[in-house]
Structure 1
Amino acid sequence: MIRELTHHDIEQVYSILRKEFNDIDTKYLSNTFDTSYKFIVWDDEGINGFANITLIDKSERNWNLQIYVDPQFRNRGIGTALYQHIEQILFNQKASIITTNFRVDIYNPSYFFNKLGYNKWYGSPELHYRGTIQPDVDIDIVPYEDKYYQQYAICRQESFYELSVKNDFRPYKIPLSDEDRKYLFDKKDTIFITLSEEHLVGAITIDNGYLDHIMVSPAYQGKGYGKKLTQFGINKAISSGAHLVYICYIEGNEKAERLYPSLGFEVVCNTHVYRKFMNN
């Protein structure tokens, strides 16, 4: 009953997802199919569930796992059978860490994964902004340039260090590297920074309505820069034609929990990430 996915199965699998995820990206399955190391389905005269694995980090032997079962066929052992099949593949691949993520606002499978030896790693709410233009900010915000790379990288390290330690995001400080520098250079049109006498104070990334990497150097925190960067991001996204402005943050980030709702963002979903350490 378990076999590998083919392109002919995609519409059936997609119809399962539509039953609960009305807002799912139409490119989801094609992207997942292309990037998955293995994608299997449970076929009992029609596809009732599926599972796939993707290699996240080869050096750390870190894999991501996704399992989904049609709601009307749950509690029949399909998810367990799919998992056991996938876990054997991961065991043969000498996986060290397996992660999985799922939305808990629709259907919460945490009990299923707890039984399999997984523990919650972190949660990430997603918030949407559907309001109007925010007031103009009184700080100068300019496009990122490569000459600011070292300052930007250090600001990122320092701004997210405590959150990284708290949630075991390793490395706790993202190392400065040529690869990282090139990535930021390639994304430079989406990154904006604010300076004080050529010292980088904070930054924000704005990418097709998504606000990311909002950060303020610890020396300047508590002075309203985070709010002003977010307001700038909202206005920039709207003026660029974004139909929706959205943002995510990590549970336990108290500043984010207070700031974003105060600006008009509303939580629309919450994703939890679970992980399991393998003994290979």
Structure 2
Amino acid sequence: MVKICEMKRDSQKYNTNLTMINYESSYYDLYKHTCCYSYYEVSMQNNIDPFDFYSNDKLLEKAGGIFMLIKNNELIGAVEIDKQEITHLFVNNKFKKRGYGKRLLEFAVNHIYEEGYNEDILFVVDTNTIAKHLYLKNNFVIQSVFHEEW
């Protein structure tokens, strides 16, 4: 069982100008590799296979909500958004502790705001303390905590 925190905040726009691109098939291997290794430690802490990943077809189904930050052919990080929910946010291990997580979060919040939603929602594994700290620091509030079988 994995302990999950549901977090919410009132949507309000940040002043940011991050240029992102949407997911497409040509990025599958890079996206999968970067995502799996970004979540590796948290996955292992919770007895989750860190390499159990979506198929390319599954990612293409939600490609309109997958935004990637790429510089010099390297995936710095990405955020997945479904309506008003931030479903994934990760930063390449090579680029952690440089403010990219905050900038990706700001991009996601702006996107949700621009889509007309007045509340941002996300779920985070309780042991992902770095992510939880980032969200709390950016006005997300824990609404509920529950256990889920993964």
What interval of TM-score do these two structures reach, taking the shorter chain for normalisation?
over 0.9
Indicate which of 41, 63, 88 corresponds to 1:188. Answer: 63
Report the equivalent of 2:78.
203
Q: Secondary structure at the match of 1:140?
A: coil
Q: Distance in 2 between matches of 1:258 and 1:218?
A: 17
List structure 1 runs of 4+ shifted beyond 6 angstroms. none
Alignment CA distance shift 1:219-1:129 (3 Å): same
Indicate which of 133, 153, 156 corresponds to 2:32. Answer: 153
- Using the TM superposition, give the Cα deviation of residue 274 of structure 1 relative to its aligned residue in structure 2, in angstroms: 6.2
* Structure 2 counterpart of 1:184, one-letter code: L
Indicate which of 137, 140, 144 corresponds to 1:269. Answer: 144
Q: Distance in 1 between matches of 2:39 and 2:4?
A: 15
Indicate which of 102, 105, 109 corresponds to 1:230. Answer: 105
* Structure 1 counterpart of 2:8, one-letter code: H
- Using the TM superposition, give the Cα deviation of residue 243 of structure 1 relative to its aligned residue in structure 2, in angstroms: 3.0
Q: Does structure 1 residue 167 correspond to structure 2 residue 46?
A: yes
Report the equivalent of 2:20.
141
Q: Does structure 1 residue 128 correspond to structure 2 residue 128?
A: no
Count of paired positions: 150
Q: Does structure 1 residue 240 correspond to structure 2 residue 119?
A: no
Q: Does structure 1 residue 218 correspond to structure 2 residue 96?
A: no
Q: Secondary structure at the match of 1:249?
A: strand
Q: Does structure 1 residue 259 correspond to structure 2 residue 134?
A: yes
* Structure 2 counterpart of 1:162, one-letter code: E
Q: Distance in 1 between matches of 2:101 and 2:51?
A: 20
Alignment CA distance shift 1:187-1:131 (3 Å): closer
TM-score by length of 1: 0.51
Aligned-residue identity in percent: 24
- Using the TM superposition, give the Cα deviation of residue 131 of structure 1 relative to its aligned residue in structure 2, in angstroms: 4.0
The unaligned stretches of length 5 or more in structure 2 are none
RMSD of equivalent CA atoms: 1.6
- Using the TM superposition, give the Cα deviation of residue 192 of structure 1 relative to its aligned residue in structure 2, in angstroms: 0.2
Q: Secondary structure at the match of 1:165?
A: helix
* Structure 2 counterpart of 1:161, one-letter code: Y
- Using the TM superposition, give the Cα deviation of residue 172 of structure 1 relative to its aligned residue in structure 2, in angstroms: 2.4
Q: Distance in 2 between matches of 1:174 and 1:202?
A: 19
Aligned partners of 2:23 and 2:66 also within 8 Å: yes
Taking CA–CA contacts closer than 8 Å with sequence separation of 6 or more, which of the two structures ends up with the larger relative contact order? Answer: 2
Aligned partners of 1:131 and 1:264 also within 8 Å: no
* Structure 2 counterpart of 1:247, one-letter code: L
TM-score by length of 2: 0.93
Aligned partners of 2:11 and 2:119 also within 8 Å: no
Q: Distance in 1 between matches of 2:147 and 2:15?
A: 34
